Amino acid sequence: MSRRMTRVVAATLAALVTVAATAAPLAAQSKSVKAAVSASASPVLVGGWSGTATVPLPDSVIVVPVLYTFTQSGTTVVGQAMVPGQGTGPISNVVLTGKRVRFRVTAPEGKLLEHDGTFGADGSIEGMVNMDKQPIAKFKIAPRKDSKSMPKK
């Protein structure tokens, strides 16, 4: 893969979390998204999450740290996303259905990065990031211990 293509993929991945918008109302989401992260409880999204996004390339793999913070305002879930050193932005289109979570991150150049993940028994979320309906990365995030606030750049 060319250096230019590698930079484009890296920039797109950095844009994973540099976005704007609002989220879907909680009333339209599954009732099961209310409890703690234990295997016996239903999953909860509100709070801070950290992990990685992994982009496969023909001759290597790029792993980028990612941070997400989801908050509730009234009946709406909103979020803030961050790639350390790359910037922050709001998350949109948050949809929770049972153990499945979907949300959108809009890259600065307007590309939509659709996240589609599933809560695991350990409380983590693992899934795919798609752009133009094509998978571009895998992501895995887990609740942050300091989930009260978004880290500073």
Percent residues over pLDDT 90 in the chain: 41
Q: How confident is the model at residue 23 (pLDDT cuts 50, 70, 90)?
A: very low
Task: Give the range among 27-36, 60-69, 108-117, 129-138 with minimum mean pLDDT.
Answer: 27-36
Output the average pLDDT for the chain. 73
58, 106 in Cβ contact below 8 A? no
- Residue 106, pLDDT score: 72
Side-chain half-sphere CA neighbours of 137 within 13 A = 27
The per-residue pLDDT for range 74-116, each reduced to its tens digit, is 778 888 888 787 767 778 899 989 999 999 987 666 678 899 9
- Residue 54, pLDDT score: 96
